[in-house]
Structure 1
Amino acid sequence: MVELPDLRAAAPFLAAAVALYFLLEQLSYLRKKGPLPGPSLVVPFLGSVAHMVRDPAGFWDAQAARARESGSGLAADFLIGRFVVFIRDSELSHRVFANVRPDAFHLIGHPFGKRLFGDHNLIYMFGDDHKDLRRRIAPNFTPRALSTYAHLQQRVILAHLRRWLDDQATTGEPMPLRVPCRDMNLETSQTVFVGPYLSEKARERFAKDYALFNVGLMAMPVDLPGFAFRRARLAVARLVRTLGDCARQSKARMRAGADPECLVDYWMQDTVRETDEAATAGNPPPAHTDDEELGGFLFDFLFAAQDASTSSLCWAVSALESHPDVLARVRAEVAAVWSPESGEPITAEKIQGMRYTQAVAREVVRYRPPATLVPHIAGEPFQLTEWYTVPKGAIVFPSVYESSFQGFPEPDAFDPDRFFSDARREDVAFKRNFLAFGAGAHQCVGQRYALNHLVLFLALFVSVADFERDTTDGCDDPVYMPTIVPRDGCSVYLNQRCASFPSF
């Protein structure tokens, strides 16, 4: 008979080992924290993650308050075994954005993003490899390409606006716009990015998988069966495969000489030419032209466009309803160049001419930047200030939100004239504080597309609908879903404004 060890005798040694681990963890945290404000003691391993998951807005507000009150622009904390540094100061944020390289900071997009998004993602690339991929992406956002997208965007936006108005007429109840905006943006992204290459069945599966991904973004990073993070990771893998198949179909269509109808077509035009030239010369295919890689990059685009845009559309509606003078000016500017009864879409030239509506879009993004934080990991120790070096492995959170309220006169006021007035030109004077699209080598490559989408939505929405906010206490408090949105989801009453609904 095998004699089992006496666990009671081993218990004191196990307890001592656990206590030693906790002590070393505390000492490591305090050493890394140094002079930064932050908790003096942290919950072993978990740190402040319960607070962050339970109340994300409150957690990050507390970090900002520490950084502001200390005058350092920095704060420290501890999350699931990782030391974190919060950056409030705009210039220090620029130092991080300007030093994304293997021996400094690695952009990660999410504290556990590489496990969730996979390897083939633009945000994880550096140096010449990153520059080469951005060069290949550039044709996706030329004026010609943006004009193609504008027509597609308007068709999808109007179809959803028609549905919203019909639903409102049926129910008579206020409509929270967050989920309808999210659904509209998902269809817009699918249509603009991969247009004719998704079947109706694929679109339905796509929507379900993207919903799983969204839930996993805000969940504990437990990669085990039955947990939201695992479901999200598997959903991303399916989405990448689907988008990779769209790239394969686009290659065949572009090789056959068809005109581009969506973003992946503009991308694949040059890709197939370079691939064919390499094959003729007996060389391997160029980097980043594999279908699966392309699917990963397209998912990166989708993620960047989807939730950020949903956030901006909700805040835009909220801001217009609470600022009737701004709403009146937008309606007047749009009406001067386009009418719902015209039967024609708004052209790219007319979009460029809507200077005030564009200023409103930029102010929405400044006032409520969708992605409030841009997490990076320090690949090596980095001297961020004269008195503080970020330790290797730390997760660094430059706060885009905090920067948006620095420098600008009366930053808490929603004031599109700061970007419209030739006399004020705050977009130039305080450019370094406008970080909603990032800065440096990883600045958002699709920012012109994102702003165009917001401008088009504003123009169409105010032209076809009258709306009234269902105002309640705290309805406009920001909550993370995963980008920030109004607490009530931007709940409104809608009525059709135009005599006949546009169709083209």
Structure 2
Amino acid sequence: MIFSVSVSVLASLTPYILVTSLLLFFLLEQISYLRKKGNIPGPHLVLPIIGNAISVIRDPTSFWYKQSDMAGISPGLSANYLVGKFIVYIRDTELSHQIFTNVRPDAFHFVGHPFGKKLFGDHNFIYMFGDDHKSVRRQIAPNFTHKALSTYSALMQVNILRHLRLWEETLPGPVSLRNLVRDLNLETSQTVFVGPYLDKEARDRFRTDYNIFNVGTMTLPIDLPGFAFYEARLAVKRLASILADCAGKSKARMAAGEEPTCLIDFWMQPIVAEIESGNPPPPHSRDEEIGGFLFDFLFAAQDASTSSLLWAVAMLDSEPAVLRKVREEVGRIWPPESNTLITVDQLAEMKYTVSVAREVVRFRPPASMVPHVAAVDFPLTKSYTVPKGTIIFPSVFDSSFQGFTEPDRFDPDRFSETRKEDQVYKRNFLAFGWGPHQCVGQRYALNQLVLFIAMFSTLLEFKRLPSDGCNEIIYCPTISPKDGCTGFLSRRVAAYPDISLN
């Protein structure tokens, strides 16, 4: 009798116990957030568990603008809470340098995405430190020699010409360039990285999986079947497997004494030579590891380049004087009727066009923030210590508008030989990172951007459809013009360069 009464009482009290437990959990979560936030700016109250994640997904642009405004000029940092993660946004350039220069096991870890380890796996290049990281960087050094960059330049141009022709000849009426540029970049990455090792079926699978991955990067990190994040994680595994297979094929081809024709060949050639000389394989040179590294590079190259190419078109359309100077310079160095590709030496001669490319990257840095995680409690300022486990967002975008002369104005001449603002304000030009994890492929990325600007502006006319806020920033996942650069394309020259596009 006593037992049955106790059970009855307990059953009646269960809802109250659950509610009380939840309230206690939410209270402790709020106290934890406020304790971590300390004296830096940020919201005083946050929603339980999800924090301000809904605001990020609905409108990431305004969310990060508000976060930057909260950071102000001083103290230059602000706090928030997203899906169980305490975050710190950094606006001040010197504070960002502290993050970039202290990427090591006992300070900050680069993650590439707030939930990158779940998405990419634990063992990718972006999570390496010390000797392991240096070893892989030494391995990939041959990928960016003058010979290698010349090879990539030719591959890029043939692909750009093919796509420009398709755009102009087969797309009637106004077009949005966003998806067209994304497809161009994906094909360029495939061709330059692993070109001869992907058949049409593999390329189609690659495109499908990469689009699944892209969608997953912009959703809540719910790692359960049926959710976009889960599907993106599986897509990454499939993509890395395809790239690992390409690494194996490249090793066999290099072992047969063939000349390198793409990036993976330049990478595998010295590895194969090391093995054939009787030495053990270098660390981190298994096909599966190479596949994971290649996906990291593809991710870094693909969406960043899509962003930069779109902003280049947007700025050339907005700045007729800049467009005219680009056309004059390119026409002197590479007239289309020459029926030749632009050489790497000619590319270096296009100084103004190179300045335009660098200004595009400064004015609209594609990876506007570079997430890191604090591995320890780190004293970032005299009055604030970043708690262990904090996701930190150094803002490359904010740094790009600090120091430079009239930073809100698109002005390629700031990178001229006379002004040299890229040297004067070098510490503020963080689009390619800084320190031990600085982007290894920045010359590759700039070359592609310069080639695209030169060819697009020379071969095509682009008349943009005017719309309110067309140059406002949206995230997808890198930054893009709001209208996707929508307008009319037409041929500007009598004939395209007579170069085989097969």
Fold equivalence (TM over 0.5): yes
Displacement, 1:276? 3.2
| Residue type at the aligned position of 1:308 | A
Name the structure 2 match of 1:351.
347
Does residue 122 of the first structure (1) align with residue 118 of the second (2)? no
* Equivalent residue number for residue 100 of structure 1: 103
The answer as to 2:394 corresponding to 1:398 is yes
Instruction: Please state how far the C-alpha of 1:386 moved relative to its aligned partner.
Output: 0.8
Whether 1:296 aligns to 2:282 is: no
Matches within 5 A, 1:47-196: 47-68=51-72, 71-168=74-171, 171=172, 173-196=173-196
Provide the C-alpha distance between the structure 2 equivalents of 1:14 and 1:322, rounded to a whole number of angstroms.
59
Q: Is the 8 A contact 1:22 1:44 kept in 2?
A: yes
Q: CA deviation at 1:13?
A: 1.5
Residue identity matched to 1:54: R
**TM-fit CA distance, 1:337:** 1.1
Distance 1:315 1:121 in 2: 30
User: Using the alignment, how far apart are the partners of 1:342 and 1:119 within structure 2?
Assistant: 49
Aligned to 1:37: 41
Between 1:141-150 and 1:5-14, the stretch displaced more is: 5-14
Cα displacement (A) at 1:119: 2.7
- The aligned counterpart of 1:28 is 32
Which residue is 2:336 aligned to? 340
Worse overlay, 20-29 or 372-381: 20-29
TM-superposition CA deviations, 1:436-479 (whole Å, max 9, x none): 00000000000000000000001111111011111100111000
- State the AA in 2 paired with 1:155: V
Instruction: Give the fraction of aligned pairs with identical amino acids, expressed as a percent.
Output: 60
Query: What is the Cα deviation at residue 501 of structure 1?
Result: 1.2
Which residue of the other structure, out of 414, 429, 434, is the alignment partner of 1:418? 414
| Distance (Å, rounded) in 1 between the aligned partners of 2:207 and 2:127 | 25
Paired with 2:124 and 2:130, the residues of 1 have a C-alpha distance of 14
* Residue aligned with 1:495, SS: strand
- The one-letter amino acid of 1:15's match is V
Deviations 1:33-56 (A, max 9, x none): 011000111101111101011110
Alignment RMSD: 1.3
Q: SS at 2:298's partner residue?
A: helix
Normalised by the size of structure 2, how large is the TM-score?
Answer: 0.97
Please say if 1:199 is aligned against 2:202. no
Structure 1 residue 167: Cα displacement: 2.6
What's 1:227 paired with? 227
Secondary structure of residue in 2 paired with 1:336: helix
User: Is the contact made by 1:378 and 1:392 (CA closer than 8 Å) also made in structure 2?
Assistant: yes
Counterparts of 1:46 and 1:230, CA distance in 2: 18
Which of the numbers 337, 351, 368 marks the counterpart of 2:364?
368
Q: Which residue type is aligned with residue 141 of structure 2?
A: A
Distance 1:439 1:275 in 2: 33
Q: State the secondary structure of the residue aligned to 1:75.
A: strand
Deviation per CA, 1:139-183: give whole Å up to 9, x if none: 100111000000000000010000110134xx2x21110100000
TM-score (normalizing by structure 1): 0.96
State how far apart, in whole Å, the 1-side matches of 2:14 and 2:335 are. Answer: 81
Could you tell me how far 1:120 is from its partner in structure 2?
3.4
Secondary structure of 2:463's aligned partner: strand
User: In structure 1, what is the equivalent of residue 252 of structure 2?
Assistant: 252
Which letter maps to 1:50? I
1:262 and 1:418 map into 2 onto residues whose CA distance is 34
Instruction: Tell me if 1:323 matches 2:319.
Output: yes
* Deviation per residue, 1:40-88 (Å, 9 max, x gap): 111011111010111100100000000116x200000000111100000
Q: Which of 14, 18, 31 is matched with 2:18 structurally?
A: 14
1:374 is paired with a residue whose SS is coil
1: CA distance, partners of 2:119 / 2:473: 25
Counterpart AA for 2:168:
L
Residue aligning to 1:448 = 443
- Taking the aligned partners of 1:202 and 1:333, their CA distance within structure 2 comes to 39
Alpha-carbon distance in structure 2 between the residues aligned to 1:119 and 1:261: 31
Q: Which SS does the other structure have where 2:78 is aligned?
A: strand
Which aligned segments of 4 or more residues in structure 1 are displaced greater than 4 angstroms?
A: 3-6
- In 2, the alpha carbon distance for the partners of 1:306 and 1:7 equals 57
Report SS of the residue matched to 2:490: strand
Residue identity in the other structure for 1:263: L
Partner of 1:312: 308
- Could you tell me how far 1:424 is from its partner in structure 2? 1.1
In structure 2, what residue type is equivalent to 1:157?
I
Q: Post-superposition shift, 1:286? A: 2.1
Indicate conservation of the 8 Å contact 1:47/1:81, yes or no: yes
Once the two structures are superposed, what CA deviation does each residue of 1:189-210 show, in whole Å capped at 9, x if it has no partner?
0000001000010000000000
Is 1:385 the counterpart of 2:381? The answer is yes
C-alpha distance in structure 2 between counterparts of 1:230 and 1:159, whole Å: 35
How far apart are residue 391 of structure 1 and its match? 0.3
SS at match of 1:96: helix
How far residue 121 of structure 1 moved from its aligned partner, in angstroms, is 1.8
CA–CA distance in 2 between the matches of 1:8 and 1:498?
82
The residue type paired with residue 389 of structure 2 is G
Any conservation in 2 of the 1:120–1:297 contact (CA below 8 Å)? no
Contact 1:371 1:436 in 2 (8 A): yes
Report how far residue 418 of structure 1 moved. Answer: 0.2
Report what 1:459 is aligned to: 454
| Letter aligned with residue 487 of structure 1 | K
Amino acid at match of 1:33: K
Following the alignment from structure 1 to structure 2, what is the Cα–Cα distance between the partners of residues 122 and 7? 53
Structure 1, unpaired ranges of 5+: none
Contact 1:378–1:394 at 8 Å: present in 2 too? yes
Q: How many residues matched?
A: 494
- What amino acid is the match of 1:419? F
How far is 1:342 from its partner? 1.5
Residue type of the alignment partner of 1:328: R
Alpha-carbon distance between aligned partners in 2 of 1:143 and 1:262, rounded to the nearest angstrom: 13
Distance 2:498 2:246 in 1: 28
